[in-house]
Structure 1
């Protein structure tokens, strides 16, 4: 892992950086990201889920990765919260340098500190390489994931 890898919590002013990372990593291919819409979504997300945190990882001052962490309070599991990782993106030019590993270690540390009973993420079935990566990090396939367009 690169020694000079830095992490910080993203701010609303980082929207352009997030868009660039998502686009480079092919995270969201449903069309161009509109900065105004993304700012509106940022505000809505921060209001609806005040515990949500978005992180940006930089190498030599250049943003190379990001992920979003949700800590969800629950009633079951003795009230222990659940952590969910979403929107994981590492710039293709920075892949293979341990950045994704460090990002998931960071998420795991925060989940542990929050007393979460699990850290979960989902990955598209087609992303076989990503699945192998997560398994190397100790993630296990668990259950089934179902989605429906509302």
Structure 2
């Protein structure tokens, strides 16, 4: 297992690398990341309590190898115990199979545990069978159903 990386919170200098990770891993389509838009969304994300973008960077200070976004959410149910949600998991194809995704998810689980969360949830596109197998190897269980609907901006 390769451990030539470090996990840290992302900063604005990482946005080009994060965009590349999204595009190379299939989270976003190639050529769809606009740096100006990413910067604005990243600034908004950073202002949200409990929101963190984690990156796995090469230990030598080189390229980003993986990323995920973690939300610790205050809840009213479950006695007010918070829950955690992971989104936008991306590992560069050249870094897959080396334990990096496992390390990123373990880091997210540790943060969720320290925040007192009762669960960590994620969703995955139904077509991503390899990702599903990965999450199951990490101990995630299929739970319920995931539903999605496209949201349209209000008509003016």
Q: Could you state the TM-score of these two structures normalised by the residue count of structure 2?
A: 0.90
What residue in structure 1 maps to residue 37 of structure 2? 37
Q: Where do 4+ consecutive residues of structure 1 move more than 4 Å?
A: none
Structure-2 separation of matches of 1:149 and 1:13: 31
CA offsets, 1:92-143, max 9 Å, x none?
A: 0010100011111111111111100000000000101110110010000000
Task: Name whichever of 19-28 and 78-87 sits farther off.
Answer: 19-28
CA offsets, 1:73-110, max 9 Å, x none?
A: 00111111010001100000010100011111111111
Structure-1 separation of matches of 2:57 and 2:115: 24
What residue in structure 2 maps to residue 13 of structure 1? 13
What residue in structure 1 maps to residue 154 of structure 2? none
What residue in structure 2 maps to residue 143 of structure 1? 144
SS in structure 1 at match of 2:53: strand
Task: State the Cα distance separating 1:30 from its structure 2 match.
Answer: 7.5
* Structure 1 gap segments, 5+ residues each: none
| 2:72 is the alignment partner of 1:85 | no
SS in structure 2 at match of 1:18: helix
What residue in structure 2 maps to residue 54 of structure 1? 53
Number of residue pairs the alignment of both structures matches:
149
Q: Describe the shift of the 1:73–1:59 C-alpha distance in structure 2 as closer, same or farther (beyond 3 A).
A: same
Task: State the Cα distance separating 1:17 from its structure 2 match.
Answer: 1.4
Q: Could you state the TM-score of these two structures normalised by the residue count of structure 1?
A: 0.93
* Structure 2 gap segments, 5+ residues each: 152-156
